[in-house]
């Protein structure tokens, strides 16, 4: 029970950090498709923050956040990709996708585990809410793969060093 609540606080912190990071990633992106993907995921992520608040409520716990070292590291990594690549290049876009997918995978792992814990603890409503977010993160991951595979990777391969 305590571990479950602590882990909810961790992902709540992470989602709020992602809300702050996505506009920077959107600004750094060049491909229209990627800009739109970041834009849309920002809207979705804000909804996920609210959904987590519903999760806390559904189990009778106060909303709280606890520093997530993993997301701090992943966001730092994405920022360093921006620093290390040139503006307006597909190479930067590839880097942004790589960074964003690492974030999505962290979320997928977290929500998968949390959903399972909710089921085990008998929190049916919470489990359903966590499943909804898990599905959104998986969809985003697939969309990013699609953008990379269908366009950007080829364009980046043609760019000079
Ligand atoms: Fe999220
Ligand atoms: Fe964490
Ligand atoms: Fe996400």
What is the C-alpha to C-alpha distance for residues 147 and 33, in angstroms, rounded to an integer? Answer: 7
Taking the centre of ligand 1 as the mean of its atom positions, its distance from the CA of residue 154, in whole angstroms, is 28
Please tell me the distance between residue 161's alpha carbon and the centre of ligand 3 in angstroms: 31
Across the range 99-106, mean pLDDT stands at 98
Q: Measure the CA–CA gap between 68 and 92, rounded to whole angstroms.
A: 26
How many Å lie between the centroid of ligand 2 and the Cα of residue 29? 26
The mean of the pLDDT values for the chain is 96
Measure 137 CA to ligand 3 centroid, in angstroms: 5
For the CA atoms of 21, 79, 95, 146, what is the dihedral angle to 10 degrees? -10
* pLDDT, position 121: 98
Residue 45 CA, ligand 3 centroid: distance in Å = 6
Q: Do residues 155 and 37 lie in contact, with contact meaning Cβ atoms separated by under 8 Å?
A: no
Q: Quick one: DSSP state of residue 149?
A: I
- Identify the DSSP state of 31: S
Return the pLDDT at 151: 76
Provide the whole-model pTM. Answer: 0.94
């Amino acid at each position: 029970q305590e571990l479950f609540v602590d882990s909810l606080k961790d992902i709540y912190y992470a989602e709020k950090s992602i809300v702050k990071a996505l506009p920077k990633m959107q600004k750094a992106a060049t491909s229209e498709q990627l800009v739109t993907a970041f834009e849309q995921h920002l809207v979705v992520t804000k909804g996920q923050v609210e959904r987590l608040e519903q999760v806390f409520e559904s189990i009778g716990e106060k909303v709280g956040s606890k520093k997530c070292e993993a997301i701090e590291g992943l966001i730092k990594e994405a920022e360093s990709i921006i620093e290390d690549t040139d503006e307006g290049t597909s190479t930067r876009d590839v880097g942004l996708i790589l960074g964003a997918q690492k974030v999505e995978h962290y979320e997928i792992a977290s929500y998968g585990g949390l959903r399972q814990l909710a089921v085990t603890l008998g929190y049916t409503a919470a489990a359903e809410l966590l499943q909804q977010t898990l599905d959104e993160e998986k969809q985003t991951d697939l969309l990013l793969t699609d953008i990379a595979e269908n366009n950007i990777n080829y364009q980046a391969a043609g760019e000079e060093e």
